Structure 1
């Protein structure tokens, strides 16, 4: 099975070193590594050339693009379609365990209905679903689900294989023939929150998506290029509203509003009960409401 591993990156050359070093330890190497970079400097280009010419990755190809995660992913898809059977997308701040690629390819080879697969993510920050969060439509005891509110639940460290609705962007592989014609939504610009859930729901209409627990990686979650939490809360509201527009059977607008309001109420409660009245929770509460107001203004 011919496969290519894609790393979309921006200004994270230090994180890329660890990612590429872990790639060298794979039991089964991809036929090609494609680095799609939108950095402001030449550091990632120089690093890619070093690994290509000196450190054992002669099949590494580097390309520079305009910034934007969805744009970069689409550039990669256009470059690899028709040449490979499987594309692996991983983030630049992950560290692959030696069997990662081998286990994913085994899953594709064993199940012809498998359109996509992702691995077990260590460091995914997945916590046990509380009753309050479940009643608020923000969490579930079932891993890998996209809920009617638009909140997407990761499988992350689930210690068994399970079919899912979406694959996390730091660990998602697809059978290229089965996603022919699909692309990432470039209306989701910059940090492009939720592009993985949106693409996963589209891909799931073509076949099965699966969390493969034996394919393992560590997500170190680099602080570079990450937004502050209140801004992510506000952006997430727009993401969930977009899911309701594009996947109305799975996600419903009324439920998006409900989930956002219960989330804001939860942040408000945290602010009230915290001894120091941590303003982070207040800002997150306000951001959720602001996200709903953004939607209302656009619809007016």
Structure 2
């Protein structure tokens, strides 16, 4: 099967070099590599040109676009449809283990009905769910679920294969014939938080998505282009509300409000209980309230 490996990137030059080095170490090379870049300078383009001339690098195509992760992913889908059978999306700040692509392609070749697959992600620092978080609809012991509150639970370092409802953006591959017509939601601009859960729920409605534990990568979580935590809290509330508005999965408006209120309460408790009254928890609590006001205005309009 012909497959294309897509890397969407913006201003992460050192991360891109490390990522491309790990591509060169793959036991099974992709048929082609597509870099969709929205950087502010030419450094990434120059890096890609250097790697494209390597004799051991598969065909590497570079495209420069306007900023926006969902836009960049959609441009990649447009170029991949009709030319390839499988598209792999990875982030620019990941480092692939040698058999990553081989394990994912084996999964697709062994199961013709498989719609999508993702790998085991190291570096996420996933903690065991607490009873408090589970009661608040913010966590679950079941990997790969999107809860009724809109919170999405990753499979990440789950040490066995399991069917999931979404795939994390740093490690998601799809059979293009199964996702024909689907696009990433370009209303989610910039950092586009939650675009992977949104797309995953749409794709899982067409068939199975699978966490393939032997396909492994390390997510370095680059600090470049990352928002501060309070802004992410507010953006995540809008994301979860959009899932409910679009009737995706089991997500519902009342449960989104419930989960958001519980999350805000958690931040307030952390602020009160922290010895130094850590300001970030107060800011997250305020962001939770602002996020609730945002969705109230959306509902009213």
Q: Please report the TM-score for the alignment, with normalisation by the length of structure 1.
A: 0.99
Q: Is residue 27–residue 98 contact of structure 1 (8 Å, CA) maintained in 2? A: yes
For structure 1, which segment, 246-255 or 184-193, has the greater mean C-alpha deviation from structure 2 after superposition? Answer: 246-255
1:90 aligns with 2:86: no
Match of 1:19 in 2: 19
Distance 1:26 1:91 in 2: 16
Cα shift at 1:216: 0.0
Q: Is residue 116–residue 175 contact of structure 1 (8 Å, CA) maintained in 2? A: yes
Q: Is residue 51–residue 58 contact of structure 1 (8 Å, CA) maintained in 2? A: no
Q: Is residue 116–residue 210 contact of structure 1 (8 Å, CA) maintained in 2? A: yes
Cα shift at 1:292: 0.6
Distance 2:267 2:55 in 1: 48
Distance 1:180 1:137 in 2: 32
Deviation by residue 1:144-196 (Cα, 9 ceiling, x = unmatched) = 00000000000000000000000000000000000000000000000000000
Q: Is residue 146–residue 165 contact of structure 1 (8 Å, CA) maintained in 2? A: yes
4+ residue segments displaced more than 3 Å: none
Cα shift at 1:247: 2.4
Q: Is residue 7–residue 35 contact of structure 2 (8 Å, CA) maintained in 1? A: yes
1:188 aligns with 2:188: yes
Distance 2:298 2:241 in 1: 12
Unmatched 5+ residue regions in structure 1?
none
Match of 1:133 in 2: 133
Distance 2:248 2:86 in 1: 29
Match of 2:228 in 1: 228
Distance 2:279 2:158 in 1: 33
Match of 2:265 in 1: 265
SS of 1:16's equivalent in the other structure is: helix
Distance 1:27 1:39 in 2: 30
CA distance 1:55–1:262, shift in 2 (3 Å): farther
Distance 1:235 1:122 in 2: 25
SS of 2:108's equivalent in the other structure is: helix
1:81 aligns with 2:81: yes
Number of aligned pairs? Answer: 300
Q: Is residue 31–residue 58 contact of structure 2 (8 Å, CA) maintained in 1? A: no
Match of 1:30 in 2: 30
Match of 2:155 in 1: 155
Give 1:95-174 correspondences, 5 Å limit.
95-174=95-174
Distance 1:111 1:248 in 2: 25
Distance 2:80 2:96 in 1: 22
Distance 2:113 2:124 in 1: 27
Match of 2:250 in 1: 250
Q: Is residue 33–residue 58 contact of structure 2 (8 Å, CA) maintained in 1? A: no
Match of 2:206 in 1: 206
Q: Is residue 121–residue 219 contact of structure 2 (8 Å, CA) maintained in 1? A: yes
1:9 aligns with 2:9: yes
Q: CA RMSD in A?
A: 0.9
Distance 1:247 1:167 in 2: 18
Q: Is residue 140–residue 153 contact of structure 1 (8 Å, CA) maintained in 2? A: yes
For structure 1, which segment, 97-106 or 56-65, has the greater mean C-alpha deviation from structure 2 after superposition? Answer: 56-65
For structure 1, which segment, 90-99 or 120-129, has the greater mean C-alpha deviation from structure 2 after superposition? Answer: 120-129
Cα shift at 1:113: 1.4
Cα shift at 1:299: 2.7
Distance 1:125 1:93 in 2: 16
For structure 1, which segment, 61-70 or 243-252, has the greater mean C-alpha deviation from structure 2 after superposition? Answer: 243-252
Q: Please report the TM-score for the alignment, with normalisation by the length of structure 2.
A: 0.98
SS of 2:172's equivalent in the other structure is: strand
